[in-house]
């Protein structure tokens, strides 16, 4: 008789993925579920978020959608509480929700600056603030940074500042919560084929296909896929990374390899 398939590396774990309605968030939610985790998809886009849940359910996984604006503390608190109520615990938080504005400092409005900081930084802070007390047995937090959180980029002042903040927040949290058995790491993607990349092209007035082709000029000769980043998050969330905390994992096809 055929043997049962081996359990996934996240069997019996419970995860929350913010920004799980599309792109890296969707790919990661699907992969974590495939590896055995029950997943809460947290996003402001209910239609697309429920589509992610349906993808997971169709493959035999467990998932639910919770509408979540990560800039609102009550939403973040509710996503954590709703997950614990539905699945009984919380083991993994992937802080992935984010936006980009492709402008220099003089061309960035104060409102756009505040919005980028609210989603990219405040959202990580608020979700983590309420997740840590929900992880009394330890857990994992993975934050989405960026290559531009490690080096500068042109016409992306608010985004670079926000992702630099995420990288430093990751390190501070790793120091604070390591004694509680909570590992905190940051995945730093390069250009990845997501709606965010299309938004960048549109903001810069570039044709999306040309923009993607230009972004592929890196040692591996292509831009990243959401699955490339999802697999890195899976590693950081799994026991394979049990002695890894406070680090940044760059997933960019070698784009930063030659940076000073």
Tell me how far apart the 2 most distant CA atoms of the chain are, in Å. 69
Which segments of the chain does DSSP mark as H helices, in order? Answer: 23-34, 46-58, 73-87, 110-117, 123-131, 157-177, 195-203, 208-215, 226-237
The helix/strand/coil state of 187 is strand
Cα distances (angstroms) measured from residue 161 to each of 114, 149, 150, 157, 236? 11, 7, 10, 6, 24
Instruction: Judge whether 159 counts as a catalytic residue.
Output: yes
Cα distances (angstroms) measured from residue 71 to each of 48, 67, 84? 19, 12, 20
User: Catalytic one among 159, 166, 191, 249?
Assistant: 159
Q: Cα–Cα distance between 199 and 234 in angstroms, integer?
A: 26
Catalytic annotation, residues: 159
């Amino acid at each position: 008789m055929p043997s049962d398939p081996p359990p996934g590396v996240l069997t019996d774990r419970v995860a929350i993925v913010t920004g799980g309605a599309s792109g890296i968030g969707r790919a990661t939610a699907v992969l974590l579920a495939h590896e055995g985790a029950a997943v809460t998809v947290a996003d402001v886009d209910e239609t697309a978020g429920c589509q992610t849940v349906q993808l997971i359910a169709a493959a035999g996984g467990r998932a639910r959608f919770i509408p979540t604006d990560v800039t609102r503390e009550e939403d973040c608190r509710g996503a954590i509480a709703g997950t614990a109520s539905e699945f009984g615990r919380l083991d993994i938080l992937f802080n992935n929700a984010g936006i980009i504005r492709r402008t220099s400092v003089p061309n960035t409005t104060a409102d756009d600056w505040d919005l980028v900081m609210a989603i990219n930084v405040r959202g990580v802070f608020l979700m983590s603030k309420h997740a840590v007390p929900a992880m009394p047995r330890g857990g994992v937090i993975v934050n989405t940074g960026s290559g531009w959180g490690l080096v500068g980029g042109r016409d992306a002042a608010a985004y670079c500042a926000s992702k630099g903040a995420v990288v430093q927040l990751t390190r501070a949290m790793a120091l604070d919560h390591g004694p509680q058995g909570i590992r905190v790491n940051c995945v730093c993607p390069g250009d990845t084929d997501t709606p965010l990349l299309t938004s960048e092209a549109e903001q810069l007035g570039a044709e999306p296909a040309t923009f993607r082709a230009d972004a592929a000029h890196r040692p591996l000769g292509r831009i990243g896929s959401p699955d490339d980043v999802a697999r890195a998050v899976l590693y950081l969330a799994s026991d394979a990374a049990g002695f890894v905390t406070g680090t940044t994992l760059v997933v960019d096809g070698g784009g930063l390899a030659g940076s000073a």
